Amino acid sequence: MQRITITIDDDLLKTLDLTMQRRGYASRSEAVRDMVREAGAREPDLPENSSCVATLGYVYDHETRALAQRLTRTAHDHHDLAVASLHVHLDHESCMEISVLKGTVAAVRSLADMLTAQRGVRHAKLHLVPVQVSESRHGHGERLTTHKHVHA
């Protein structure tokens, strides 16, 4: 077993301690181990080159130095993965972003990690949905067209 040291702000430590008490953990270490296990179980074990659609939601502190610009630059650098996004002002300091993404599992996870690992980003959640992509030719009204379809 390895011993690690983490730095955690007071509010997050309070959350950890409350979770620990509520679930009856004997130690912070056991609580953190279980949380890491839960996080691992929530992420589906999909092949990195398989196709997916995803939602990525996170809250961030827009007062964190240049964070909004870094997030926007990262999203623009990966515009090929973005289907749509929603930006919500929660209060004077916090914003929520919700993005719909489409691409390979590896590319979507990589973008999510780049965005949510930034200092000032909180409450991040990536939800991956495996899909099959097919191309077909069929009619839409009076015209025939060939395009891709995503099947969840």
41-56 pLDDT, tens per residue?
666 678 888 999 999 9
Q: What is the number of domains present in the chain? A: 2
**Claim to verify: residue 132 and residue 120 sit in the same structural domain:** yes
**Claim to verify: residue 99 and residue 123 sit in the same structural domain:** yes
CB 72 within 8 A of CB 96: no
**Claim to verify: residue 129 and residue 148 sit in the same structural domain:** yes
pLDDT level of residue 148 (50, 70, 90 thresholds): confident
**Claim to verify: residue 51 and residue 31 sit in the same structural domain:** no
**Claim to verify: residue 34 and residue 82 sit in the same structural domain:** no
Helices (H), 1-152: 10-23, 28-42, 67-77, 105-116
**Claim to verify: residue 18 and residue 58 sit in the same structural domain:** no
**Claim to verify: residue 30 and residue 6 sit in the same structural domain:** yes
Cα–Cα dist 127/58, whole Å:
12
CB 57 within 8 A of CB 125: yes
Minimum mean pLDDT among 8-17, 88-97, 110-119, 129-138: which range? Answer: 129-138
pLDDT level of residue 142 (50, 70, 90 thresholds): confident
